[in-house]
Chains A and B, each alone.
Chain A
Amino acid sequence: SAVISQKPSRDICQRGTSLTIQCQVDSQVTMMFWYRQQPGQSLTLIATANQGSEATYESGFVIDKFPISRPNLTFSTLTVSNMSPEDSSIYLCSVAAAGGSYNEQFFGPGTRLTVL
């Protein structure tokens, strides 16, 4: 299994500001994923972060709002830009276990974001 850490664990931010969330994995992984979980909802995939290429965004999510960096095989960041109260959610990163595309996925502890 992979051990994933996220920073910060939680934050309270003002409308119009930006927050960068960090995700660190204890092993090298090809693909990292960023999810959003709005209050009382299930998880929705924001984007897939590949090392050495641009992130792939899901429908409804754009790079200007959620820029992603993937500088190496163990680290990624997600920025939530120009925040509004609707961005209040838990943001989670995940990775797929080594050995192929169809293996088990592991999740970080999440970042709980509240926008006032």
Chain B
Amino acid sequence: KQEVTQIPAALSVPEGENLVLNCSFTDSAIYNLQWFRQDPGKGLTSLLLIQSSQREQTSGRLNASLDKSSGRSTLYIAASQPGDSATYLCAVFTGGGNKLTFGTGTQLKVEL
């Protein structure tokens, strides 16, 4: 059974700081990994999708890497802003039912 863990559970940083969020998964037989952002009480916004054959993806100030063999992914946020404050979720897609398994999330707060 796939299990996804995110560290840290919560993070508070000053504006402008670069930061790294971590995601680990137990079964390396994944098809892709997706990072999402969730604002309080809202739905999910897709940030980045990394296919299993890829090592990283970039979008603006965000960079996500994937090390499939070790079961790890990182989300790097450059020059953080208060608007980045949200919960960040990673999810891995495994076969056998087109199923996304979600991590526990990292709650990020960027302070002025």
Could you list which residues of chain A lie within 8 angstroms of chain B, going by C-beta atoms?
Answer: 1, 6, 31, 33, 42-45, 48, 56, 58, 90, 92, 94, 96, 101-110, 112
Is A42 in contact with B102, judged by CB distance below 8 angstroms? yes
| Interfacial chain B residues near A109, Cβ < 8 Å | 42-43
Pairs A-B, 10 closest by C-beta atoms: A107-B44, A109-B43, A102-B31, A110-B43, A42-B102, A104-B49, A43-B102, A107-B43, A101-B98, A42-B104
Is A110 in contact with B98, judged by CB distance below 8 angstroms? no
Most buried by B among A31, A58, A103, A108: A103
| Interfacial chain B residues near A56, Cβ < 8 Å | 97
Is A105 in contact with B34, judged by CB distance below 8 angstroms? yes
Which residues 19-56 of B have a CB within 8 angstroms of A?
A: 31-32, 34, 36, 41-46, 49, 51
| Interfacial chain A residues near B91, Cβ < 8 Å | 43, 105
For the A-B complex, the count of residue pairs with Cβ-Cβ distances under 8 Å equals 58
Is A96 in contact with B98, judged by CB distance below 8 angstroms? yes
Is B42 in contact with A110, judged by CB distance below 8 angstroms? yes
How many B residues, CB 8 Å from partner?
A: 23
| Interfacial chain A residues near B105, Cβ < 8 Å | 42
Residue B100 CB within 8 A of the other chain = yes
Most buried by A among B41, B98, B99, B100: B98
- What are the interface flags for B77-112 relative to A under an 8 Å C-beta threshold, 1 for contact and 0 otherwise? 000000000000101010001111011110000000
Main secondary structure of the interface of B (DSSP, over half): strand
Choice from B34, B41, B97 contacting A90 with Cβ under 8 Å: B41
Is A102 in contact with B103, judged by CB distance below 8 angstroms? no
Q: List 20 A-B contacts (CB under 8 A).
A: A31-B98, A33-B100, A42-B103, A42-B104, A43-B44, A45-B100, A48-B97, A48-B99, A90-B41, A96-B98, A102-B51, A102-B93, A103-B32, A103-B49, A105-B91, A107-B44, A107-B45, A108-B43, A110-B41, A110-B42
Instruction: Tell me the bound Cα distance from A104 to B51 in angstroms.
Output: 9
Instruction: Tell me the bound Cα distance from A31 to B99 in angstroms.
Output: 11
Is B89 in contact with A104, judged by CB distance below 8 angstroms? no
Choice from A31, A45, A92 contacting B43 with Cβ under 8 Å: A92
- With A56-B97, A90-B41, A102-B93 known, 19 other A-B pairs at CB within 8 A are A6-B43, A42-B104, A43-B91, A44-B102, A94-B44, A94-B100, A102-B31, A102-B32, A102-B51, A103-B49, A104-B46, A104-B49, A107-B44, A107-B45, A107-B46, A109-B42, A109-B43, A110-B42, A110-B43
